Structure 1
Amino acid sequence: MASSRLAVITGGAQGIGRGIVEYLLARGWRVAALDRDGEALAELDAAHPSSPLLPLVADNRHEAEVDAAITRLHDWQGAANQPPGIDLLVNNAGIADPETGPLEQLSLADWRRWQDSHLTGAFLCTRAAIPGLRTRRGSIVNMASTRALQSEPHCEAYAAAKGGLLAMTHALAISLGPEVRVNAICPGWIETGPWQKSSQRSTPEHRPIDREQHPAGRVGEPDDVAAAVAFLAGDEAGFITGQEFVIDGGMTRKMIYAD
């Protein structure tokens, strides 16, 4: 019998989000992938024709689109005679480019664009999903970044948005517990190119220096993050909430001195 466990992954059509979608599908989950890129969603759907996958075209920054997507999700569940509720929400959507340029040249509109794509979108999706999450005593994973903990120049808007997600994580854990657990993942360098699947690990296009700066000996892959998401959503993590998990191959722990 197919599992009735249901996950909602925002930004699920590409990159880390797609990696999480495919990881959970392979393990029997029903998955709703929410993304504003309809073309990428259609490609994802075509790649999984017999899987319990619901593509939802919606921009997580827009309240009406998020609410409509959750309504479609409920209808999909009902049509499949699935019990109501949501087991997992992954707030992964957001502008991927961390560099915003010199702060004195950053417009207010662009600042708000970064905050809305990561932080406001997570708020809107979480608010819409809370009733379903409470029904199944589900969990939330917010996708932050190691850039919430350390920085390169000219990434203020991105860092602030990801840092806000970390603060939102512990606040939600207190407000929604014990019915809903909330944790955050801070990915480091995760390769989301065409070789992202495990079967393609033999052909990464990385220089030796790229691998050597990671104590784990390699650059990360979407499956590395997806495995952590699946763990945090499982019963084994039932005593874990309000926490931050760095998935970066040890890179943020490595001291680097200039020659």
Structure 2
Amino acid sequence: MNLDGAVAVITGGGTGIGAAVAESLARKGAAAVIVNYSRSADEARATVARIEELGCKAEAMAADVSDDAAVRRMAERVRAAHGRVDALVCNAGTTRWVPFPDLEGLTDEVWRQLMGVNLMGAFYCARAFAPDLRAARGAIVNVASIAGLQATGSSIAYGVSKAALLQLTRDLAVALAPEVRVNAVAPGIVATRWHIGRVGEQVFSEMAAKEELKAPLRRTAQPEHVAQMVTSLLESDLVTGETLIGDGGRHLGY
């Protein structure tokens, strides 16, 4: 896919990885980037302003991706405004911090929330935008996590939701072929507000330093690194159903 002139939709695009992807697509020459958000309205508008400074049309669009009707309304708005969609990046995600041994902490409400956003949100978006993506012979990239491949992360429910997202990626790659390619990225620890806000800058720095010692590349991922992975998959015309891990090689250790 040539991203020059493309129309892209990024869920959870106002902050962190989503914002970095949005700016990366703008720098690649995208014609328009739709920055979806649920709660981060101010951040989404700020991201839109930065994209517009790069000469790309941009719009902040509110929709809870776990609400199928809201997603379908968003798809209609994008369709009416731009007439096409070439790329869909399903980045919206959420978690609840529950220690693995605390099985009682994994309430039905926790499961519903995490599966609703992390898994069903990606499915609802893929389904709503499928006609547009098929017409454009476009591509989807789902933002998963290393927690979907290994027993790690903020909670069991989070890891399960990301593992399910990886399977959804493979299934959609078959279901939407041959017109649409579907891939996923699985980053490790990323220096975003999502991580740093949970533990504080000092604790995050200490945690990241320990993880870097176990990673061959001795680096902690920044949002821009994940954006690079996403754009690479969007541009890779013969790759579908794959998961690209980005953790500096940390997963190679035992």
The 5-angstrom pairing of residues 96-107 of structure 1 reads 96-97=95-96, 99=98, 102-107=102-107
Equivalent position of 2:199 in the other structure: none
Please point out which of 41, 44, 51 is paired with 1:41: 44
Equivalent position of 1:92 in the other structure: 91
The Cα of 1:208 is off from its aligned counterpart by 4.3
Equivalent position of 2:77 in the other structure: 72
The 5-angstrom pairing of residues 93-242 of structure 1 reads 93-97=92-96, 99=98, 102-152=102-152, 155-193=155-193, 208-234=209-235, 237-242=236-241
Go from structure 1 to structure 2 and tell me whether the alpha carbon gap of 1:97 and 1:223 turns closer, same or farther (over 3 Å shift).
farther
Partner-residue secondary structure (3-state), 2:45: helix
- Bigger Rg, which one: 1
The Cα of 1:94 is off from its aligned counterpart by 1.1
TM-score (norm 2): 0.86
Deviations 1:40-89 (Å, cap 9, x if unpaired)?
21222233444311111111011221111111112221xxxxxx321111
1:31 and 2:40 correspond: no
| AA matched with 1:47 | R
Q: Is the 8 A contact 1:103 1:154 kept in 2?
A: no
Structure 1 stretches lacking a partner, 5+ long = 78-83, 195-203
The Cα of 1:212 is off from its aligned counterpart by 2.3
Structure with the higher helix share, 1 or 2: 2
After superposition, the CA RMSD in angstroms is: 2.3
Partner-residue secondary structure (3-state), 1:245: strand
Q: Aligned partners of 1:110, 1:193: CA distance in 2, in Å?
A: 21
Equivalent position of 1:80 in the other structure: none
1:253 and 2:247 correspond: no
| AA matched with 2:86 | D
The Cα of 1:193 is off from its aligned counterpart by 4.8
Q: Aligned partners of 1:149, 1:191: CA distance in 2, in Å?
A: 20
Deviations 1:81-127 (Å, cap 9, x if unpaired)?
xxx32111111101045546612232111111110011111111111
| AA matched with 1:41 | A
Deviates more, 1:169-178 or 1:101-110: 101-110
Aligned length: 238
Go from structure 1 to structure 2 and tell me whether the alpha carbon gap of 1:193 and 1:112 turns closer, same or farther (over 3 Å shift).
closer
Q: Aligned partners of 1:25, 1:65: CA distance in 2, in Å?
A: 25
The Cα of 1:210 is off from its aligned counterpart by 4.3
Q: Is the 8 A contact 1:41 1:57 kept in 2?
A: no
Equivalent position of 2:15 in the other structure: 14
| AA matched with 1:85 | R
Go from structure 1 to structure 2 and tell me whether the alpha carbon gap of 1:193 and 1:160 turns closer, same or farther (over 3 Å shift).
closer
Q: Is the 8 A contact 1:87 1:233 kept in 2?
A: no
Q: Aligned partners of 1:11, 1:166: CA distance in 2, in Å?
A: 18
Deviates more, 1:144-153 or 1:220-229: 144-153
Go from structure 1 to structure 2 and tell me whether the alpha carbon gap of 1:149 and 1:98 turns closer, same or farther (over 3 Å shift).
farther
Partner-residue secondary structure (3-state), 1:90: strand
